[in-house]
Amino acid sequence: MLPTLRQLQYLKLLAEHGAFGKAADAAHVTQPTLSAGIQELEKSSVPLWSIAPSRGSF
C-alpha cells in the first residue's frame, strides 16, 4: 500500500516541528488524528527508516 499525500504531509510536519502536538497544530488536526495517520504510514509498505529524519523526531 502506498502512503497518502496526507500521511506524507503529517510526516513532513512532524519532522519540521519535532513534536506530535506542534505538527498537529500546523496540520489543523488533533494530535490523535495525526498519530493515527503516522501509524497508518508505519503500516504501509514504505520503510520509515528510509525517509525519517535522523535527528530523533520519532
pLDDT, tens digit, for every residue of 5-41? 999 999 999 999 999 999 999 999 999 999 999 999 8
* One CATH from 3.30.450.20, 3.30.930.10, 2.30.40.10, 1.10.10.10 for 5-45: 1.10.10.10
| Of 44, 38, 43, 40, residue with least CA distance to 58 | 38
Other beta carbons less than 10 A from residue 39's beta carbon: 10
Residue at grid coordinates 496540520 = 27
pTM above 0.85, yes or no: no
Residue 21's pLDDT is what?
A: 96
- Separation of alpha carbons 7 and 41, rounded Å: 6
58 three-state secondary structure: coil
